[in-house]
Amino acid sequence: MAATNYNIPPQISFSTKLKQNFFASPLDCLISVLCVLFFATVIYQFVDWAFLSSIWSAEDESLCRDAGGACWSVIDARHRIIFFGLFPYEEHWRSTLACVVMVATMIASCFSWFWSAFRLSFLWVLGFGSFYILMHGGVFGLSVITPERWGGLALTIFIFAAVSIIGMPLSIVLALGRRSKLPVIATLFGLFIDFFRSLPLLTILFTAAVITPFLLPGWLLGDKLYRVIAGFAIFFACYQAENIRAGLQAIPPGQDEAGKTLGLNFWQRVTRIQLPQAFRNSLPAIVNQFVITFKETSIVTIVGFFEILASGAAAYGTGKWTVHYIEVYVFIGAIYFMFVFSLSRYGAYLEKKLRVGNV
Amino acid sequence: MIRKQKQLLNTVAGCLVALSLVPATATAANGDTLKAVQDRGSLLCSGHNGSFPPFVQVTDDNKWSGYDIDYCRAMAVAVFGTDEKLKVVPISWAQRFPSLQSGDVDIIIKATGWTMGRDTELGIQFSRPYFVGATNVMMPKELGSTSPDTLEGGSLCANAGTSTERLAANFFKSRGIEIEMITFEKSEETREAYFAGRCDSLVGWGPNLAVTRQAAENPDDHVMMDVALALEPESAAMRQGDDNWVDIANWMFAATWIAEANGITSENVDEHKANPADSTVEKLLGVTPGIGERLGLSDDWAYNVIKQVGNSAEIFDNNIGADSVYKLDRGLNALWSDGGVIVPMILD
């Protein structure tokens, strides 16, 4: 028996490992101890600031100055602004529900059961429809609330979801177009992608929000929010198209030719041979683009949208709360972290599931 | 191929630049804005992407408030008789003037200084100044005096590289007062340094200083210097060419001033309407007709503004002055009869 086990590495106890890796020599000991002390101090300072010496309730704001820790009273008093921006106070349940619906839609579309064109479109039409009805109102006895009053987390989520859902199909079209065998099409798509990639996002948003009203006729304008989302989606799609193109280019041409010899038509080859592998090949880059986009939604504040960061500024920007901006930013940072970290972990899970990196 | 692409790119880029350079000639004709506002059924006034206390901020129950917002409300009340029809559009500083030109807002009431460039080149017409923002110096009360000489040999905290810093340096130099300038990159740093006692005084824009002061451990320990370093007149900005709309804005401001001059407040406006003291009050409150028709409004518009928003003293005190947390002295923003620079026009 023992002879067949020689492949298994010897079992090393935890203490031996610790000794080998961190306390092998006096210098190692010193470095390890210093590092542990350093991190312990930093963590203790933060825990002390955030939890031990902090004030939690809005009524206790007067105690904040002497407490020495975080003054979470500002969150207690003003969290509705961070979450809902300028959405009317009595209708906050609508904004909350809309957020929940949208997050649920995003989570649902992460399950592979939904990964068919029909199911995915059905899910998103349903998700977007309910979000819009809840936020905008005007039907089922809900009062109308126009987009200039939307804000906070709800607006950030809406912009991110809308940009992703418009941008993703667009990016596939752009990537395929750029790889077209027809030179005119390939050049035009290439120019389109490179043109929008060479402009800063800020310029595109500013143009969409502020300049287009001078250029387009009134009936084509729509609300500023939708113009900005359209501009943002084009920007997103151009970057994502290049990620997908990288994935497409990694597929050996023999596969497509094999598909042709089997009699598959263009769309069959694209949807069954090329795209699944392209997504698998560039998954890390694609997830990366989503992460970047979620964080870049904060740029829309420059064209006057009350997304979560602007709402945060409004939350601390009055009277006694002006000194507590750090607490507000830490709180918003935690919300961003929650979303982006989940997104990254989901990407990592997908990579594992699709065995990205293993050939 | 590559050269052709480059050429095309250049052409497209050139077109875009040309478009952005087209002078924004979106002027309005006389009476256009009022008609557009009435047809739309709402007044679009400027808000902020965030908050700019005490002019534009958000209350705990997600409503706009502030000094400028109150004047937006007054404008909506003047046109519609109610501020329910006011829509505050959040816009950033950079967006202000393009938004006005493109019709995203009907009027900008947002701490906007009246400059020649804006007045002539941007196609903008300004109302009379409704607020003067003084650059001032805040210092501890324990110094015992509020005159500039108190700071002789002391130090002054300022934001590095700003016009305020140069202004302060020139101000003290021209008076022969020796003062050490300590500058910081960020306004938070500057504020912390002053509160930590690293300098004896802090220079800034008056309303901003008031916001800083109320955040102090003991706001009463800090006072403003009795001389202002500079003044910026803040006016409402509107599209060039619509004189009627500018008239409405000017007389909306004037109505709040005339009301204050005659002791008419939101509380006692009904008594004054029942027993007008003189012909000015009669005209103001619409007892005798004329004030509305000449602007294209109803005769009780000024009455509504005073009743629902208040006179200029009430608007100031509620948002910036004694009844607010900021407790800024009315100073030059008082009527001329109280030592300020605000002069109501004459209602005839």
Domains with residue ranges and CATH for chain A:
74-353 (1.10.3720.10)
Which of B49, B60, B218 should be substituted to probe chain A, the one whose Cβ sees the most A Cβ atoms within 10 Å? Answer: B49
With vertex at residue A215, the alpha carbon angle to CA A214 and CA A219, rounded to the nearest 5 degrees, is 95
What are the CA-CA distances from residue B234 to residues B75, B120, B137 (Å)?
16, 16, 20
pLDDT mean over B308-313: 95
Query: What is the nearest CA distance from B47 to chain A, expressed in angstroms?
Result: 9
Task: Please report the number of interchain residue pairs, chain A to chain B, with beta-carbon separation below 8 angstroms.
Answer: 121
Widest Cα–Cα separation across chain B: 85
Residue A98 has pLDDT above 70, yes or no: yes
A178 in Cβ contact with A186 (< 8 Å): yes
Chain A residues within an 8 Å CB radius of B61? 80, 89
- pLDDT attached to residue B23: 41
Residue B14 has pLDDT above 60, yes or no: no
Neighbouring C-beta atoms of residue A270, cutoff 10 Å: 18
Residue at B344: amino acid letter: P
Q: What percent of chain A has pLDDT over 90?
A: 39
Cβ distance B102 to A81 less than 8 Å, yes or no, reads no
Chain B residues within an 8 Å CB radius of A211? 19-20, 98
A228 in Cβ contact with A305 (< 8 Å): yes
Residue B74 has pLDDT above 90, yes or no: yes
Query: What is the nearest CA distance from A266 to chain B, expressed in angstroms?
Result: 28
User: What CA–CA distance (Å, rounded) separates A313 from A325?
Assistant: 8
Ranking A110-114, A237-241, B281-285 by mean pLDDT, the lowest is A110-114
Chain B residues within an 8 Å CB radius of A148? 87-90
Cβ distance A211 to B98 less than 8 Å, yes or no, reads yes
β-partners of residue B56 are: B52
- Report helix, strand or coil for A345: helix
**A211-234 tens-digit pLDDT:** 888 887 777 777 889 999 999 999
Residue B126 has pLDDT above 60, yes or no: yes
Query: What is the nearest CA distance from A128 to chain B, expressed in angstroms?
Result: 24
Cβ distance A313 to B50 less than 8 Å, yes or no, reads yes
Residue B134 has pLDDT above 50, yes or no: yes
Cβ distance A317 to B52 less than 8 Å, yes or no, reads yes
Residue B269 has pLDDT above 70, yes or no: yes
Task: Give me the residue label for tokens 């050490």.
Answer: B180
Which of B62, B93, B192 should be substituted to probe chain A, the one whose Cβ sees the most A Cβ atoms within 10 Å? Answer: B62
Q: What percent of chain A has pLDDT over 70?
A: 97
Residue A267 CB burial class (10 angstroms; 0-12, 13-18, ≥19)? exposed
- pLDDT attached to residue B20: 46
- Report helix, strand or coil for A201: helix
Nearest CA to B111 out of B96, B98, B89, B121 is that of B96
Contacts of A19-27 with C-beta under 8 Å, sequence gap 24+, read: none
Under the banding of pLDDT at 50, 70 and 90, the label for residue A301 is confident
- pLDDT attached to residue A5: 57
pLDDT mean over B12-26: 45
Residue A78 has pLDDT above 60, yes or no: yes
Nearest CA to B74 out of B281, B292, B306 is that of B306
What is the C-alpha R_g of chain B? 23
Question: Which 8-state DSSP code applies to residue A328?
Answer: H
| Sequence-distant (≥ 6) Cβ neighbours of residue B106 within 8 angstroms | B33, B36, B37, B43, B44, B45, B238, B245
Query: What is the nearest CA distance from B12 to chain A, expressed in angstroms?
Result: 9
- pLDDT attached to residue B25: 45
Cβ distance B57 to A317 less than 8 Å, yes or no, reads yes
Across chain B, what does the average pLDDT equal?
87
Question: Which 8-state DSSP code applies to residue B220?
Answer: G
Residue B24 has pLDDT above 70, yes or no: no
Question: Which 8-state DSSP code applies to residue A302?
Answer: G
Angle between helices A183-197 and A224-249 (to 10 degrees): 120
Residue A357 has pLDDT above 80, yes or no: no
Under the banding of pLDDT at 50, 70 and 90, the label for residue B329 is confident
Under the banding of pLDDT at 50, 70 and 90, the label for residue B146 is confident
Question: Which 8-state DSSP code applies to residue A147?
Answer: G
- pLDDT attached to residue B13: 44
User: What CA–CA distance (Å, rounded) separates A82 from A320?
Assistant: 17
- pLDDT attached to residue B268: 93
A120 in Cβ contact with A108 (< 8 Å): no
- pLDDT attached to residue B271: 93
User: What CA–CA distance (Å, rounded) separates A135 from B198?
Assistant: 50
B36 contact A CB<8A: no
Under the banding of pLDDT at 50, 70 and 90, the label for residue B22 is very low
B107 in Cβ contact with B62 (< 8 Å): no
Among the partner residues B52, B61, B102, nearest to A89 by beta-carbon distance: B61
- pLDDT attached to residue B117: 87
A137: left (phi over 0), alpha (psi -120 to 50) or beta: left
Question: Which 8-state DSSP code applies to residue B45?
Answer: E
Cβ distance A302 to B94 less than 8 Å, yes or no, reads yes
- pLDDT attached to residue B273: 92
Nearest CA to B131 out of B74, B77, B206, B73 is that of B206
Greatest mean pLDDT among A71-75, A308-312, B9-13 lies in A308-312
Cβ distance B90 to A306 less than 8 Å, yes or no, reads yes
Domains of chain B: 32-130+235-338 (3.40.190.10), 134-229 (3.40.190.10)
Q: Per this entry, what is the length of chain B?
A: 348
Under the banding of pLDDT at 50, 70 and 90, the label for residue B227 is confident
Instruction: Identify which has the larger pLDDT, B20 or A112.
Output: A112
Q: What percent of chain B has pLDDT over 70?
A: 92
pLDDT mean over A89-109: 90
Task: Give me the residue label for tokens 């900008």.
Answer: B108
**A129-146 tens-digit pLDDT:** 899 899 988 888 888 888
- Whether the predicted interface score ipTM is above 0.90: no
